[in-house]
Amino acid sequence: MRLSDLQDKDVVDIGSGDKIGSVIDAEIKKDTGLITKLIVYEKRGFLDAFKMKDEVEVPWEKIKKIGSDVILVERK
């Protein structure tokens, strides 16, 4: 799997069913080359669309399933 395969996928909290946002980047551990967390643009409402978006870091161990168009995570 490539980083480009993860980018723009929706990230959803499996506990609440809420969309957190979309993947924009990943943090990679330099010595191992493993992904340690995904960087996600937080979902905003329509009126907030023109404001700067917040980034949310999702630790790799919180990812439960990577599907074809969505990534399921456990936020708790």
Domain segments of the chain as ranges: 3-73
pLDDT for the residue numbered 43? 66
pLDDT for the residue numbered 54? 83
Residue 38: beta bridge partners?
A: 26, 58
Rounded to the nearest integer, the mean pLDDT of the chain is 88
Whether residue 22 has pLDDT greater than 70: yes
* Beta-carbon-side half-sphere exposure of residue 44 (alpha carbons within 13 Å): 12
* 21 against 47, higher pLDDT: 21
CB crowding 29-52: b at 16 or more within 10 Å, else e = eeeeeebebbebbebeeeeeeeee
The domain 3-73 belongs to what CATH superfamily?
PRC-barrel domain (2.30.30.240)
- Residues 23 and 39: beta-carbon distance below 8 Å: yes
pLDDT in tens, 30-65: 999 999 999 999 866 665 556 556 889 999 999 999
